[in-house]
Amino acid sequence: MSKSTKPIAIIPARGGSKRLPRKNVLPLQGKPLIAWSIEAAIQSGIFERVIVNTDDDEIAAVAKQYGAQVPFMRPAELATDTTTSIAVLKHQLEYHQAQGECYYDMVLLQPTSPLRTAVDIQTAWQMYCDQQVESLVSVTAVEHPIQWTFVDDEQGLISPLFDQVLKRSQDCEQHYRLNGAIYITRTEHVLCEERLLHPSSCLSYKMPTERSIDIDTEFDFVMAQAVIHYYEKLTE
């Protein structure tokens, strides 16, 4: 069995999206949503293979059209609303192992993050290699301080979740959230431990808010279109 020193990119794309139907093939500024991630992965030049994992014939056809590989169609039992990403990734990696292909590292690129660029992927991968960590995940700054978070009771009365005395935003420590764009990890963590991020050896790759849109709703889609249009205007 050969073991590649280059990572494998896996782009999971289920056909049955509920909140935004057929979102993975919706045209975003002239090309299907999933094509943005495929092209960024290929242009990064770091991958042995760029794989789309899907249960949908149309998504598979679009993936192949834009240069990705679809080695098999995802079985129905792994294409439900409750299927976890880990289950899908583990199944994909086990398929490659059965074919005599083995990878030290894998990169998960969700198709709902179209504004992640080839440079983002290259930079994140270089950081992961340079720091010799077990995993890396892309993040973006939390838009408002978490110290401003409140909870309410049955009567609708609110109280602060953290400090009783609210601080000014500039006095609060900066926090970050996952943005869903890039996940890098050792394949053994997925195959043997069934987890994506190592709890004590996980590096962050910080991305700006405008490139961190994760499309789940029609509003997200409109926001992504607006950001792309804005960048296009800057280059005219």
Q: Which residues are catalytic?
A: 168
Question: Cβ contacts of residue 214 below 8 Å, gap of 6+?
Answer: 110, 112, 113, 179, 180, 181, 220
**Pair 34, 24: CB distance under 8 Å:** yes
Q: What is the spatial distance between Cα 65 and Cα 62, in angstroms, rounded to a whole number? A: 5
- H or E stretch at 156: none
What 3-state class would DSSP assign to 108?
A: strand
Asked if 121 and 42 touch (Cβ cutoff 8 Å), the reply is no
CA distance 112 to 161: 31
**CA gap 233, 142 in Å, rounded:** 27
Name the phi and psi angles at 108, rounded to 5: -95, 125
